[in-house]
Structures are given as structure tokens and as C-alpha cells.
Structure 1
Amino acid sequence: MSTDQLYSHFHPDEHRFVDKAAEWVERAGQHQVKLTDFLDPRQAFILTTLVNRSQDVQVRFDGGHEQSERRRALIAPDYRALEEEDMGIVLISVTSLDDKLKDLDHSDYMGSILALGMKRDKIGDIHVSDHGCHFLVAAEVADYMRLNLQQVHRVHVQTEVLPLEKLNATGTKLEEIGLSVASMRLDGIVSDVYHLSRAKILTPIKAGRCKVNWKQEEDPSKPLKTGDVVSLQGFGRFKVLEVEGVTKKGRFRVKIGKYV
């Protein structure tokens, strides 16, 4: 398949990642092994698609726990046993003597981590509880994170490295809301979820700041369906949990889960 044919399956903004993934696969076919940074589900899908085009290459994904969203990938020749390979994932625990930890959320921890100059690609899933946070990082930056993460949203914290089996996977927390919408269009549902006018929603969508299932989506009229995960830069993300039916007036009753 030519590069142009390959590109046709992906959004233009994904072409740079497609190029990198294609190079990883090509080198694996030449007996080289590549351990990636943490990939989001869309990137993992792209990589899997490219690996499946090669008979001599395999890939293993691991994010530190079975239900991980963000995962590192190990791409290697098909003769190599990957199950025992070190995936370079470290678990860091964040605690504090301050009871204000219970008021912190995912965005607080993420903001403090990124403020240290850390690239998002080096960070896996973040699990927040009332008692602190467990988050997964690439082994090559674990020491830096442990030594330098001393404050989260003005709360002084302590960090320590724990064995992966000690991970407290808190699961996804969703705030459920019910909507009645005229259609399943992306712009209409995003507008209602974030209480913004349709006009204010169109600008960020058309500017490429909205993703559906981790894929950039610039078409405001794209219809959403059950299971779709939507993120809007600066506002967070939500999941379409269920389309519950249609009212007598022809409006859709939709159950939405906002990530908290």
C-alpha cells in the first residue's frame, strides 16, 4: 500500500503518527525492537492496523493494569517472546498529611505533572481517590517525577514508588446527566453538555479542538452513538452512555456520563 493510500484512512493530523508507527513496524521487520511511550486508544488502533499488515511483526500493549486506557507498545519481530519483556512502567503513589487531597481531581494532578515539564506521552493512567493518587509513568522519567512532584494545586504532597501489583485502580467516575436533544449531532450534544451556545461550540470543533473516540473531528454535524467518547479541549470529556428513546415530539432522550 502506498503512502497516499495509507494516509487516506486517517485524519491529516494523524499522518505524523502514522509515519512514526510505520517506521517502527518496518524496523521490527528488520529485527529491531521498539518500546513506545504511552499511546491513547486511537494511536494504539493505528499501530495495530499497521502491524496487522506485516506478517513478520507483532505488538504487545501494556499500561500497568488490565483495564488501562493509555498503554505502551512493544513492537518486535514475530519470533521474539514478548510476555516476559520489561515494559518500562513504574507506579508512583501521591499522598499527603493534608486532608485537602479529597478535594483534588484528575485535572489537578495532571496539571501539576505537566507543569514539571513532563510530556503527556510519558504519563499513563491516573487513578484518583480521596486519599491521594496512583499514576503510571515511563520508567525513564520515574525518578524525576518522584523527586520533583512536591505540590498539587497548592497541597504539599509526598511521593513513593510502589510495585505495580499495589496499584489502586479507582476506575472511571462518571457524573450522569440526561438530555433531550433534537438530533444526535456532535455540536448539539456538546453544546448541551457544557452549557454553551451552538455558535460558541462551532469554533473549537472546526479548529480541531474536539475529538470523538480520540480521533480529531471537525464536522459539527457528525452523529454520535452509544459508547462514543467525546473530548473538548479545555472542557474535559464525556461518554454517550445510552440513547434511551425518542419523545412524542421526536426528540432524543440521551444519557451522558461526564468524566470527573
Structure 2
Amino acid sequence: MNQIYQHFRHEERQFIDQVVEWKENVLNQYSPKLTDFLDPREQEIVSSVIGEHIDVKVSFSGGVEDTERKRAFLYPDYYQVSEEDFKLALFEVQYASKFITLQHRQVLGSLMSLGLKRSKFGDIRFHNDTVHFICATEISEYLSANFKEIGRAKISLKEIDSYQFIPNKEEVQEMVTTVSSLRLDVVGAAIYNLSRQKIQPLITNGHVKVNWKVVDSASFECQDGDTLSIRGYGRSKLTSVEGRTKKDRVRIVVRKQK
């Protein structure tokens, strides 16, 4: 286990232990395991834990090819995986789009207000007035019967096929900069062109996430591969840390949402 732990942060150990338990259950019971939706960091951990294991394999699906959030399917090596194994439902939100504008946080907040966990939902996408989302099929009937409002707006759901789902058109730009340290407030300030005085309250108030988890400590140490997001400022990925310059600053390469 220590070999696995050393590649990840201490706070990720609980999830690593959960993945190990899933793997052991597949091995011992000779039956597959379907997880809830995982963020990309969790998917990376699952892939690392399962690794090149001879007897247990893993596949991921989020409903369409370019989704961010996906369910993992762990299975014995002899099992033939199909898309049906992932048990996914895709919906379009129908509403009075001429009079109402919906935002991601409103849609997700209304879904969560039904008493459902975030892990039961995959990607939520917008294009013009169209809103699509993906969920686990085990909650699809409940949603169809109970998801009737977003805020004060009356809505209804229409199930759609995967080819109809809004494609991911996210544009990113690469930037290279230097920072005095890899503290979260320092790195975030450099990426988003903010002062440390401005970014620190965003961090302490829970508006900043690293690898899809809220981090409220400005001194949190960033690493290669970390994904950062600041509410209202977008998302970026620290693709590489390239050592120190002659002036003893750290050179970083970042991919940032346009």
C-alpha cells in the first residue's frame, strides 16, 4: 500500500483504501463493481490502484466520449464490458427559455435539493438555451417524477440519446510563468492575474478547488498535474513544474480555460 500512497496526497488515502476494497471484492466474489460518478482525479487514482492487474480490469464511461465525470466499472478479466454496464441516463431540461436563463450552479443546486448526492450525476452542459445532463439510471425514474423546478422556473425532462448530447467545446490556452513558491495563493494569483490579497479571501471562503475538492488553506502546496478552479474565474491545470530559474523562482506551465 505504501507504494501506492507515495504517489498521492495524504488526504486521498481514504479513497485509495476504498478502491482497494472494490478490487478485492471483484477478485473474491468474481463479480463486477460499478461506482458512482468520479471526477478526473478519482479516475486517475482508480487507474493507478488497478494498474496492470492481471485478474481485475477497469473501464470508464460518462455517457459520451468527452465527458469529465465518469463511472468506473471494475470487472474480472474474462468479463465482456458493454456500454449498458455503466447504467447511464441522459436528459434534456425543457423550460421557457425565452424568459429564463439557467446557470450550471442553479441546475446542480436544484438536483441536489432533491436529496441526491453529487456522485449520482455526471456532466451538465449548456449550449445557447439548451441544457443537458447525465445521471445514474437508478435515479432516473425518481428525477422524472420529482425534478419539476429550477429555482422558480417550471421544467420538465426529456430523455435523449448520446449522439444528441452537447459536445465539449472548451478552449484552453497554454501559459508559462514563474512564481516565488508553489503555495496555492501564489500559484492562483499568477494564473488568474490576481493579487494575493484578493485571492486569499476566495480560498478561505471555500471558493477555490484543487482537483475538484475545496481547499481553504492559502499555504496548500500545489503539485504537477493539479487542476485548480476559482469560482467566477474558471479552471486551469498545472501541467508541469520545471525547476528554478537563476533568480530562484519556480517555472510553471499551465493550461487555462479561455
- TM-score normalised over the length of structure 1: 0.76
* 1:122 is aligned to 2:133: no
Deviation at 1:199, TM superposition (A): 4.7
- The alignment-based identity, stated in percent, is 32
TM-aligned CA distance change 1:77 to 1:116, over 3 Å: same
Deviation at 1:256, TM superposition (A): 7.2
Task: Give the aligned residue type for 2:44.
Answer: F
CA distance in 2, matches of 1:163, 1:242: 34
- Contact kept, 8 Å, 1:122 with 1:138, in 2: the verdict is yes
Post-superposition CA distance 1:94-120 (Å, at most 9, x none): 02124144x322222112211222211
CA distance in 1, matches of 2:252, 2:68: 28
Stretch of structure 1 that moved more, 81-90 or 22-31: 81-90
CA distance in 2, matches of 1:255, 1:51: 29
- Contact kept, 8 Å, 1:96 with 1:132, in 2: the verdict is no
CA distance in 2, matches of 1:13, 1:48: 18
- What residue in structure 1 maps to residue 10 of structure 2? 12
Q: What are the residue-to-residue correspondences of 1:242-257 with 2, within 5 Å? A: 257=256
- What residue in structure 2 maps to residue 138 of structure 1? 136
TM-aligned CA distance change 1:146 to 1:85, over 3 Å: closer
Secondary structure at the counterpart of residue 99 of structure 1: coil
- Contact kept, 8 Å, 2:238 with 2:252, in 1: the verdict is no
Q: What are the residue-to-residue correspondences of 1:141-152 with 2, within 5 Å? A: 141-152=139-150
CA distance in 2, matches of 1:210, 1:145: 30
- What residue in structure 1 maps to residue 67 of structure 2? 68
- What residue in structure 1 maps to residue 36 of structure 2? 37
- Contact kept, 8 Å, 1:62 with 1:73, in 2: the verdict is yes
CA distance in 1, matches of 2:148, 2:47: 37
Structure 1: state its 5+ residue gaps. 244-249
- What residue in structure 1 maps to residue 105 of structure 2? 107
Deviation at 1:7, TM superposition (A): 3.0
- Contact kept, 8 Å, 2:177 with 2:190, in 1: the verdict is no
CA distance in 2, matches of 1:35, 1:75: 6
Stretch of structure 1 that moved more, 45-54 or 115-124: 45-54
Task: Give the aligned residue type for 2:86.
Answer: M
Task: Give the aligned residue type for 1:69.
Answer: E
Post-superposition CA distance 1:204-253 (Å, at most 9, x none): 7589874444477657474677x853124x5564225999xxxxxx9x99
TM-aligned CA distance change 1:134 to 1:194, over 3 Å: same
* 1:161 is aligned to 2:159: yes
Secondary structure at the counterpart of residue 46 of structure 2: helix
Task: Give the aligned residue type for 1:138.
Answer: A
CA distance in 1, matches of 2:130, 2:85: 27
Secondary structure at the counterpart of residue 57 of structure 2: strand
CA distance in 2, matches of 1:123, 1:156: 21
The aligned length equals 248
Deviation at 1:87, TM superposition (A): 1.1
Deviation at 1:13, TM superposition (A): 2.2
CA distance in 1, matches of 2:222, 2:187: 10
Deviation at 1:126, TM superposition (A): 0.6
Q: Aligned Cα RMSD in Å?
A: 3.9
Stretch of structure 1 that moved more, 6-15 or 34-43: 6-15
- Contact kept, 8 Å, 2:179 with 2:252, in 1: the verdict is no
